[in-house]
C-alpha cells in the first residue's frame, strides 16, 4: 500500500505551518511538481481542504 498521498499531505501541512504568509499556488506547483490546474482542483473545499482538516483541525477552510 502506498502512503505517498498521506506523505504529500503532511509535507503540505508542514509548509503551511512553517510560513507566516501561508503557501501560494506557485509554492505548491514548485514543491509538488504539478500544474496550476491540479493545484486549483486540490484547493476545492470538498476535496483537499477536508483532508488537511483531518490532519490539522484548526486549518481554516476558505
Q: Give per-residue pLDDT as tens, 6-38.
A: 888 889 889 888 888 888 888 888 998 888 777
**Banded pLDDT at 57 (limits 50, 70, 90):** low
Would you state the pLDDT for residue 6?
86
Instruction: Decide which of 5 and 40 is more confident.
Output: 5
Please give the model's pTM, rounded to 2 decimal places: 0.58
How far is it, in rounded angstroms, from Cα 4 to Cα 20?
Answer: 26
15 and 23 Cβ atoms separated by less than 8 Å: yes
The C-alpha cell at 53 is 482538516
Would you state the pLDDT for residue 51?
57
Q: For 18-56, give one letter per residue: b (16+ CB within 10 A) or e.
A: eeeeebeeebbeeeeeeeeeebeebeeeeebbebbeeee
Amino acid at each position: 500500500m502506498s502512503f505517498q498521498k498521506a506523505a504529500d499531505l503532511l509535507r503540505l501541512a508542514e509548509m503551511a505551518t512553517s510560513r507566516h504568509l501561508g503557501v501560494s499556488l506557485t509554492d505548491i506547483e514548485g514543491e509538488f511538481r504539478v500544474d496550476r490546474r491540479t493545484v486549483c482542483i486540490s484547493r476545492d473545499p470538498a476535496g483537499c481542504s477536508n483532508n488537511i482538516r483531518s490532519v490539522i483541525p484548526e486549518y481554516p477552510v476558505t
